[in-house]
Structures are given as C-alpha cells and as structure tokens.
Structure 1
Amino acid sequence: MTSSESETWQPKPPELLPPWHTPEREKLQEQARRFAMDEVLPVANELDPQKGEIPASLLSRLAELGYFGITVPAEQGGLGLGVFEYCMVSEELARAWMSTASILARSQGLGTAVLDAERRHDLLARSARGDWIGAIALSEPDAGSDLAGVSTRAVLDGDVWVVTGHKRWCGNAKAADFIQVLVRERDPEEGESRSAGLVNLLLEKERGQFPEGLSGYPIDKVGYHGFLTWDLQFDGVRIPKDNVIDQAKAAREDSDEEGEAAEQAGFAEAQKFLNTARVHTAARAVGLARAALEDSILYLQEREQFGHPIADFQALRFNVAEMAAQIEQSRAFYRQVAHLLDLGLPCAKEASMVKLEATEMSVRVTNQAMQLHGGNGYTTERQVERHWRDARLTTIFEGTSEIQKRIISDRLLPRSPLA
C-alpha cells in the first residue's frame, strides 16, 4: 500500500466546523487535495530521489488551476482570494511535495511592485497566469539573518544600475522569469540605520538562462529538491534604472488615500508581505508533518511483529495520538493568523510565533515518524525520509527559529539602553 492510497481526512460535521469555514474554501481544499495526491505525489516520488526539478507540465497544471494567482486580484486574472486560501492550498501541496507549495510563493504578484501602475498591472496578470515566476536574491555569504549587512553594490550609470557582488541561497534562479535582488546603493550616513541605502532591483531574464554578467552554480542540498538553489556572482549585471521594487510605494500608488493614510497603507502592505511568508512556511510545515503522520498510520497497520500489526501496541498508538494533536494545533494556529492577515490586523508577533511553533513541530513529528518506521524509515524506499529532510529546512529558511524568537521577545520585552 502506498501513501497515495491513504485518506485519513474526512469532512467534519457542521457543528465542528471552525468560524472561518465556507463551502467555497472546502471546495478549494478538496480540489487541492485531489490534485496533490493524484498528480503531484507520483511526480515527487519519481523525481525527488533524482534531485529533479519540477517539470514544465506540472507548472502548467498549477497555472491551470489558478494557484499562481491565488492572492492576485480578479481584475488581473487571479483568484482574488486571501492569505487563508493561499496557505490552505499550500498545506495540501506540501503534503505531496514541499517544492510545489514553495514555487507558489515565487508568483502571487512577486516582482510586480514597480512604480509604473500600467506595467504593474500587466505583471500581475502574467503572475496569475504562471508566466511570471521569480526568485529572490537576498542572502550573501556574510549576510543571512542580518540583511542590513548586504554588500552587493548597485551603481547608477546613466539609465542603468550596474550590479556587482555575491549572492547565496537563491532558489529557482536560473529557471525564473526574474530575480528580485537586494543591493546596496550607498553606505548609511551618520545617524542612519544600517539598512539605509538598501534597494530591491528587478532583474528580468529568460527562463533557463542567466543574463550577461551573471553566473553561478547550484548548491547541493540534503533535501528540498524540485528546484535548484543557487550561489550567484554578479559581475557588472545591468538593470534598467526604473526597475526598482518598492512594495510600500506601489501600495501607495494604488491607494485612493493621500498623505499619511497612503503612507500607512504602504507600510501595512510591506509588513503583510513579510508576515505572509512566515505563515506560508507554517502551512508547508503542517503539510509535511501530516504526510509523515498519514504514512505512519499506514505503515503501523501494514507491519507485523509478534503476530500482530504493530498498530496494536499502545506505545506506538500513543505516539500517533501525540503527533496528530500537534499537527491539529499548528494548523489551527496558522489559519487563525492567516485570518488576521486577511482582516488587515497587525500580527507580526503572531506570524513569528506560528512559524516557530509549526516548523519545530514538523521536525519533531517527521522525526517520530521515522522512528515508527524503524529501519525502513532510514531508507529511500519510503517517503518518510523525504518529509523529514524537507521539514528540517523549515526551521531555517524564511528566518531561523532563533530569529523568530528574537522577533517575539522584542515585542514582549523592552530592551534596556545598555543592551
């Protein structure tokens, strides 16, 4: 029996449905679940052991279902839905292959926050169609969690930026339609924060190619296969002067408000982008943990020792109960925070909390699932080792667990002047 034959989930009776349940969301979830198990999982089982990339045919299916534009407004061809639906679909996809849930984050209007409103709307339409899938080059060998330490330089030469520097951990870089690059335009002046002088530039490119001046090599990862993660060298890469990404300014351009209200709208949009990324990671972590649980339930019924399926042994049954409870808790938490984001409420602390809790939970649950599989769990014959490898990364990317703890504690405890 394979995990594609498992289906432990059943619709809840109406009296047990959460307050954010709607028939439309239930239909979207069921569609995503069928697609993940019937179409994504077989591809993952074939390609992940080969460290293969998501095939173009699967990207086309994601686009056909509208998943690249879940949060893109309907007038630009998107589904016009919220963070809640985006994370809900991502959980289902991650249950089959985390990379398919992750590739969604490289669309959803990413790389469209240019200041030319007409061009911005065109890019949003491309994003919704799956024709505008990108990559983000933030980190450097000496600047990861501390992005204020970015040293990649952009010098304005007439009507182009000339970019020189070294970026690392740039997923999907070569296969992307664009790369959003964090660069330093100038050094901070006295009295300014260390992040002063940083700017995001939009590097447009052809899929499967690097433009002149850009080179790199794929980093050999333990897991998280499906797309390549790159170490990049920028050696005089030229980017048009107007290709500046500013989430906050773009939001103000689209706002009907003026003055301080428009500034607040722009800041809120930029903050929501960061919080959404954290909740999206929590949803992916829940999907991975659920995969490990469902595979374990099947295995415990299949494997016999001492004349009984090992599912009969109380110690193992209690492990399953604990795993299931932890998953349900993290799912409820990420949906609550997604709901707050869709309401436009401030929840930076809660977004960091759910990212911290869900990803650490996923590591615990996938590790326990490997233990329940015994020696078989430490082979590539079972999918549980893939869930474990991918879950381990969720505590690192999109801000490590330690960074999330810092964000949370800074909002709970004021720092002394000497700190």
Structure 2
Amino acid sequence: MAQAARLRYRHTARVTDDLLAPPIPVLTAPHDTPERRALQEQAREFAMRRVLPVADELDPRKGEIPRSLLDEMGELGYFGITVGTEYGGLGLGAFEYCMVAEELARAWMSVGSIIARAQGAGTNVADADRRAELLRRSARGAWIGAIALSEPEAGSDLAAVETRAVRDGDEFVITGRKRWTGNAKAADFIQVLVRTDDPEPGEKRSAGLATVVVEKPRDSFPAGLTGSPIDKIGYHGFVTWDLEFDGLRVPVSEQLGAGGEGFADAQRWLNIARVHTAARAVGLARAAVEDCIVYLQQRRQFEHPIGDFQAVRFTLATMAARVEQARSFYQHVAHRLDQGEPCEREAAMAKLVATEMAAEVTADGIQLHGGNGYTTEHQVERHWRDARLTTIFEGTSEIQKKIIADRLLPRSPLG
C-alpha cells in the first residue's frame, strides 16, 4: 500500500525539495518579530520535511496521523502554543497559533487541525489541581481531544442541541447522538455540548446547555458510548465519527465553566476556531500556488513551459494575490483577538473570505494542471478536496454571512 501511495504522487520528492525555496510569507508591522519569524520558519521546515511525505503516503488510503508524528509535534510545543509557560506551554496567542496552523495545513490540513484539539481545551474544570494537571498534559500533547457539538438536527443551530445530561448524584448520565466528531476514538477526551435543563418560558433556546468533558482511553470508547465512522471524500488524517451516547456516566465535576454557559462557551471558542479555519484555508490555497509554480515550469506544450503563456501567468498571479489578501486579513483579526477584542463579526468575515478564496484558488490549481489535475498523481486534488470543506465546517459560508449581516444591519422589529 505504501508503494502504491508513493506512485500516485510520483512527483512528490522533487516538489518537496523545490517548495522549501519560496520565501517565507511576510509578516508586516506590527506583527513582524524575530521570534515569530523563527517559529514560522521552524513550522514550515517541519511541515515540508516531515508532514508532507506522511500526507502523500497516507491520504490516498485515508490513513490516520501516526502517533510518532503527534509526539514530534508535542516536542515542538505545537499542542501548547496558547497554554501558559507555567504549565509547559509556549505562552503565545491566537496569532502564533494560526500562523503555525497555516504552515502545517499547507502540507496536510488534518495536521493543521489536530493542534486545535489541545491548546488547553477541556481543562476549564472547577478543581484547580485537576485543571493544572490537564493544562500540563495539553501542552505536551498528552491531552488531545475531540469536540462534539453538532447533532443530526443541530448543526448550524447549536441552540437546538438535544443530547441530554441528567444528574444522578455526583454523575451526569448522557444520552443522545452527536455527529461530525473528528478524532473521537483516538482522543484522550471528548468535549460534549449537552442539555441539562429545558429553557423556561421567555428564556433563549440556548438556556440549559452545558459542556461536559468525557475522559477516555485512547483508541477506544467507554461503556455507554459507541461510534460509526463517517466516510468522507477528504480531510483524511483522522476519522470523523457519528456518536451514540446511551447512559454514559460522567462525574459532575467534569462540567466546564459555570452551569448554563455551554452555549456561550461554544460561541467564544468558535471565534478563534473560525480564524484558525481561515489560516488553514490560506495554507491550502498557498499549497496550490506553490505546486503550480513548480508544475508550470515542468510541463511543456508547444515547445515551451506552459508557465510562459500569459493566460496561465495571469491566473497564477491572481491566485497568489488572493492568498496574500486573505492571509493579511486573518492575521489582523488574530491580532485583535489577542488584544482582547471579541471580533465576532471580523472572525466570521475572515473565515468567509479565506475559505471561499481557498475553494476557488485550489480549483484554479487543478485547472492549471489540466488533465493531470484531475488525477490522483498530483497533490493539487488533495488541496481542493480539503479546501472545499473549509467553507462548511465551523459554520458554513451562509452562516458567516448571517453573522456579518446581523451585526451590520439589525432586523426591523416588524420583520
């Protein structure tokens, strides 16, 4: 199988070496610091030398990210970018988190995604000692989780969550179904959005939602939880699950934050998640541009490299310009998040712009590869499959437009 995978990407070894040559994306003031440049260069080197060959081998057969690669990422600190130094993390912000995610996603989007399953996720429990222990585990990559928000009837509408957590003494008994839970079986924990109470008359539909952490052994499900893999067309590297909770018992102490704030917690988390998605989308689009630069010099027609033809050159130039524009936008929003601004509208804008751009730019990359782009012999088809998903998860493009419009133009009371 490994030999077959290498044959499918028969240009990979040559391309990998060439792709270390393009300049590192520019960090403009006030974002440019020697520390950030060093982190960015390290992440690009790791992505191209270590992640890309693994992606080329495993993605064609829908393989999972190897534990050995996750361990290397843990040693580099990528699971604790936003975790405080007192817990062993890098103590950095959303800007650096997204910057590293872009570099990793350029090689394989699932690797740019898996770092979101740490960063102190699932650690906001009431007990201070327990919280400190989980933060230390998170920082070193020993507390990698899964996020269970969506349900068959509650995807974009999280206020409609029906999965129940009924208190029984010092435990919650969880019953219901979750969908689109990536990394669920391989994870150390699953962070589950549940309903503990029904809203009272006059309350918002989101009242009574809470977030509970289910700690579990890696590569198995605990009693009371089963799952079925969802067969995706892309976004390989970890398995996405449809989960069934049937009387799963969890200590009440594993509830995150104050009671009844589950929906608000999810919304706050989604702001950073959407900028993170924008960064991943930029990484995928940049991959298409960089792959095309190499391919357009190699592929010859009419006794010329096809990169000599003006129509092709103009397409490439437009692709590259759109990538730079989206990168500048997401970095600006990440910086504002680090300044403590809520940026709900701006995060939605960054995700909308970057993900739609990535879907179009990676499609242009297939076009520039011609018939070869519609094969599995080149990486550009993987970039397109993965980029297409970015317009859907963490809120579809239509949901982002709704968020933006609702903050720009409040609805009439009579509407």
Superposition TM-score tier, normalisation by shorter sequence:
over 0.9
Question: Among 154, 157, 166, which residue is 2:165 paired with?
Answer: 154
Distance 1:202 1:401, change over 3 A: same
- Secondary structure of the corresponding residue to residue 2 of structure 1: helix
Deviations 1:8-27 (A, max 9, x none): 7655899x943210000000
Partner of 2:38: 27
Deviations 1:369-407 (A, max 9, x none): 000001111111100000000000000000100010000
Shift of 1:154: 1.0
Structure 1 unaligned spans of 5+: 251-265
**Rounded Cα–Cα distance in structure 2 between residues aligned with 1:138 and 1:322:** 37
Does structure 1 residue 411 correspond to structure 2 residue 407?
A: yes
Native 8 Å contact 2:183 2:238 kept in 1? yes
Shift of 1:246: 2.0
Point out the more displaced range, 226-235 or 346-355: 346-355
Map residues 59-98 of structure 1 onto 2, 5 A cutoff.
Answer: 59-98=70-109
Does structure 1 residue 366 correspond to structure 2 residue 362?
A: yes
Deviations 1:106-153 (A, max 9, x none): 000000011112211111110001000000111111110001111111
Native 8 Å contact 1:248 1:270 kept in 2? no
**Rounded Cα–Cα distance in structure 2 between residues aligned with 1:175 and 1:29:** 28
Partner of 2:19: 7
Cα RMSD of the aligned pairs, angstroms, is 2.0
Partner of 1:123: 134
Point out the more displaced range, 62-71 or 152-161: 152-161
- Secondary structure of the corresponding residue to residue 16 of structure 2: helix
Partner of 1:199: 210
Shift of 1:241: 1.3
Shift of 1:7: 3.1
Partner of 2:317: 321
**Rounded Cα–Cα distance in structure 2 between residues aligned with 1:327 and 1:277:** 19
Native 8 Å contact 1:222 1:389 kept in 2? yes
**Rounded Cα–Cα distance in structure 1 between residues aligned with 2:339 and 2:203:** 33
Partner of 1:275: 271
Partner of 2:50: 39
Deviations 1:199-255 (A, max 9, x none): 1111110000100011111100000000000001111000011110128999xxxxx
Look up the equivalent residue of 2:125 and give its one-letter code: V
Deviations 1:246-286 (A, max 9, x none): 28999xxxxxxxxxxxxxxx999876532111100000000
Native 8 Å contact 2:111 2:237 kept in 1? yes
**Rounded Cα–Cα distance in structure 2 between residues aligned with 1:46 and 1:271:** 36
**Rounded Cα–Cα distance in structure 2 between residues aligned with 1:342 and 1:349:** 15
Partner of 1:399: 395
Partner of 1:215: 226
Partner of 1:168: 179
**Rounded Cα–Cα distance in structure 1 between residues aligned with 2:21 and 2:96:** 18
**Rounded Cα–Cα distance in structure 2 between residues aligned with 1:175 and 1:291:** 28
Partner of 2:303: 307
Native 8 Å contact 1:8 1:294 kept in 2? no
**Rounded Cα–Cα distance in structure 1 between residues aligned with 2:111 and 2:376:** 20
Native 8 Å contact 1:95 1:287 kept in 2? yes
Distance 1:203 1:4, change over 3 A: same
- Secondary structure of the corresponding residue to residue 208 of structure 1: coil
Native 8 Å contact 1:248 1:269 kept in 2? no
Look up the equivalent residue of 1:353 and give its one-letter code: M
Map residues 245-260 of structure 1 onto 2, 5 A cutoff.
Answer: 245-246=256-257
**Rounded Cα–Cα distance in structure 1 between residues aligned with 2:147 and 2:363:** 30
**Rounded Cα–Cα distance in structure 2 between residues aligned with 1:104 and 1:218:** 21
**Rounded Cα–Cα distance in structure 2 between residues aligned with 1:344 and 1:379:** 45
Distance 1:322 1:247, change over 3 A: farther
Partner of 2:189: 178
Runs of 4+ in structure 1 off by over 4 angstroms are 8-14, 247-250, 266-272
**Rounded Cα–Cα distance in structure 2 between residues aligned with 1:10 and 1:68:** 27
Question: Among 329, 347, 350, which residue is 2:346 paired with?
Answer: 350
- Secondary structure of the corresponding residue to residue 175 of structure 2: strand
Instruction: Give the share of equivalent positions with the same residue, in percent.
Output: 69
Native 8 Å contact 2:270 2:394 kept in 1? no
Shift of 1:416: 1.1
Native 8 Å contact 1:66 1:128 kept in 2? yes
Point out the more displaced range, 194-203 or 322-331: 194-203
Look up the equivalent residue of 2:15 and give its one-letter code: S
Partner of 2:10: none
Distance 1:242 1:362, change over 3 A: same
**Rounded Cα–Cα distance in structure 1 between residues aligned with 2:78 and 2:245:** 32
Shift of 1:418: 2.9
Partner of 2:5: none
Partner of 2:3: none
The normalised TM-score by structure 2 is 0.94
- Secondary structure of the corresponding residue to residue 91 of structure 2: coil
Structure 2 unaligned spans of 5+: 1-12
Partner of 2:4: none
Shift of 1:348: 1.1
| Count of equivalent residues | 403
Native 8 Å contact 1:247 1:270 kept in 2? no
Native 8 Å contact 1:126 1:132 kept in 2? yes
Distance 1:275 1:291, change over 3 A: same
Distance 1:101 1:244, change over 3 A: same
Point out the more displaced range, 236-245 or 387-396: 236-245
Deviations 1:136-175 (A, max 9, x none): 1111111100011111111111111111111110000000
